[in-house]
Chains A and B, each alone.
Chain A
Amino acid sequence: MIKKLLKYAFLFLVLAFIYTPILVLVIFSFTDTIIIGTWNGFSFNLYKKLFADSDIMKIVRDTIFLAVGAGAISTILGTMGAIGIFYSKKRTAATLNTLGNIPIINAEIVTALALALMFAMVLTFANKTILSLIIGHVVISVPYVVLSVLPKLKQMDANTYEAALDLGATPIKALFTVVIPEILPGILSGFMLALTLSLDDYIVTAFTKPDTFDTISTYVYNAVKVPTHSSLPALRALSSIIFLVIIIAVVVMNLKSKNKENR
């Protein structure tokens, strides 16, 4: 019993370390203060300021558009890639897997500099444009899509595709009516991963983005470095919204999948 309590106490301590800064930020998003620690009474002023700040609102929109766009491209490219790898010869598949693993294992700064250098020196027409930014985000997320789709292909019953062909379906039709529905969970989780990686990214974004374009990451990074930046209190409100949305989404999604497993 005591042992069990000690275990819970230890876990609780680590969780407190993880969640205290988040909680403090959320609490101080409900008071109109520049510095955390001074309480100027409960108010939604920072939230009002946030939604009235057209710069930040534009950045939030751009960040989401970029994530959805790059995520969609990664998902399509990665799903096709996974199918291709699955039906390729062993050596081709191994080569593609090794190449795809590089952005996962490589230090992000190396990926970022390598891309920036190539755009600056070779593909100059796309240097520091939306195109280079999207390509950068696809590079860091597409391998994860492949990794989420491949296991689903391995679990699939290989005969159903052949059966569809025997029954007269064209290869394209068989692909869309038989293969895609089977691997859809993998495709969806790949898309979610790509979305998160894009929303989370700072380094590749900073190295490939146009000078006038900002994502939440780059904007906050630059704002935080200036201690007197006027947007900091409003960013507290933005952070609080993002923290709560994600914590709730992750918990709900996991509880849902737990229920499914139990049934």
Chain B
Amino acid sequence: MRALKISRKHLGYPYALFLILFVLLPLIIIVYYAFTDSDGHFSILNFVNIFSDITALAAILTSLSVAILTTAVCLLIGYPVAYILARSRLKFAPTLLILFITPMWINFVLRMNALKEFFSLVGLLDKNPLLTTVIGMVYDFLPFMILPLYTTLSKLNNSMIEASYDLGANKVTTFLKVTLPLSMPGVISGITMVFMPTMTNYVVSEILGRGQITILGKLIENYFMHSNWNMGAALSTLLLAVMLIFTWATGGFNDQQNGNARGALL
């Protein structure tokens, strides 16, 4: 019996090997390059350079602005959408949800091109690259905000909300004191899935901002194009660190909501 159990466990070895070789090892290499100079000696100069380079600082600032604006708009649109779909008992809610999520399955470069053509039709293109980029980011990432919010809101314990009404709270108070706090896991999950990608998805800013604004992803791509591995690695290491801290703080390594969001439809 024991020998047989081991044989099933062995099936995981190729996957484990793959993860070590192509997920863990590349990250170790990136951290190594981030902390060495072009001669291979230990150095923190790459990080000093990032924080003293006006282009890099501007990219960090632009990325943060784009990410904060996009996340806020996604939340402001996505929360009411998810709330209505999950809690209003509308007849067509399931079908409508599908319509909100469908764009996720369409190639996003094609969607960005469609949006670009639309902007050029209504005369918005080349006017305000920050605005068009943020609209594009919202367009791309809205489903990733709606889905976790919808999942959380539709699983909400109704008796808590009823109890709140029974105890005399009105609708607004009930929402602020019961529904909203209970839906925080969905909010956090949604923010996680929108904020980080928005800082780095340079395809959107390049197509819709017409290359007039540089976000962190574009900066890394520039380093890559010029084979400036050490600087690219240093910037990636910073992003990696931010991601690890953020994930650790929100307990993301334990829950699998991130992965399930994309798979929820299938």
- A and B: real partners? yes
| Structural contact, A7 and B88, CB atoms closer than 8 A | yes
| Structural contact, B110 and A239, CB atoms closer than 8 A | yes
When the two chains form the complex, which single residue of B18, B199, B265 contacts A107, counting CB atoms closer than 8 Å?
Answer: B199
A-B contact pairs, 27 of them (CB 8 A): A11-B85, A14-B81, A21-B118, A22-B114, A28-B117, A37-B121, A81-B16, A88-B12, A96-B19, A99-B24, A107-B239, A109-B202, A110-B30, A114-B27, A118-B25, A118-B29, A122-B29, A148-B266, A200-B106, A216-B110, A220-B107, A221-B207, A224-B112, A236-B117, A242-B106, A246-B102, A250-B105
Q: How far is the CA of A85 from the CA of B176 in the complex (A)?
A: 41
Q: How far is the CA of A175 from the CA of B84 in the complex (A)?
A: 44
Residues of chain B contacted by A242 (CB below 8 angstroms):
106-107, 110
B252 CB–A CB distance under 8 Å = yes
Q: How far is the CA of A138 from the CA of B21 in the complex (A)?
A: 12
Residues of chain B contacted by A92 (CB below 8 angstroms):
12
How far is the CB of B126 from the nearest CB of chain A, in Å? 10
A90 CB–B CB distance under 8 Å = no
B: interface residue count bin: 35 or more
Of the listed stretches B52-60, B159-167, B180-188, B228-236, chain A binds B228-236
Main secondary structure of the interface of B (DSSP, over half): helix
When the two chains form the complex, which single residue of B15, B216, B253 contacts A96, counting CB atoms closer than 8 Å?
Answer: B15
Q: How far is the CA of A22 from the CA of B229 in the complex (A)?
A: 38
A46 CB–B CB distance under 8 Å = no
Residues of chain A contacted by B240 (CB below 8 angstroms):
106, 110
Residues of A at the B interface (CB closer than 8 Å) are 4, 7-8, 10-11, 14-15, 17-22, 24-25, 28, 35-37, 77-78, 80-81, 83-85, 87-88, 92, 96-111, 113-118, 120-122, 135, 138-139, 142-144, 146-148, 165, 171, 175, 189-190, 192-193, 196-197, 199-200, 202-203, 206-207, 216-217, 220-221, 224-225, 235-236, 238-239, 242-243, 246-247, 249-251, 253-254, 258
| A18-B142 contact, Cβ under 8 Å, with A83-B8, A224-B207 | yes
Residues of chain B contacted by A175 (CB below 8 angstroms):
8
Residues of chain A contacted by B48 (CB below 8 angstroms):
none
Q: How far is the CA of A203 from the CA of B217 in the complex (A)?
A: 9
Residues of chain B contacted by A25 (CB below 8 angstroms):
113-114, 117-118
When the two chains form the complex, which single residue of A77, A105, A171, A200 contacts B7, counting CB atoms closer than 8 Å?
Answer: A171
| Structural contact, A84 and B100, CB atoms closer than 8 A | no
How far is the CB of B239 from the nearest CB of chain A, in Å? 5
Residues of chain B contacted by A117 (CB below 8 angstroms):
26, 29-30, 33, 229, 232-233
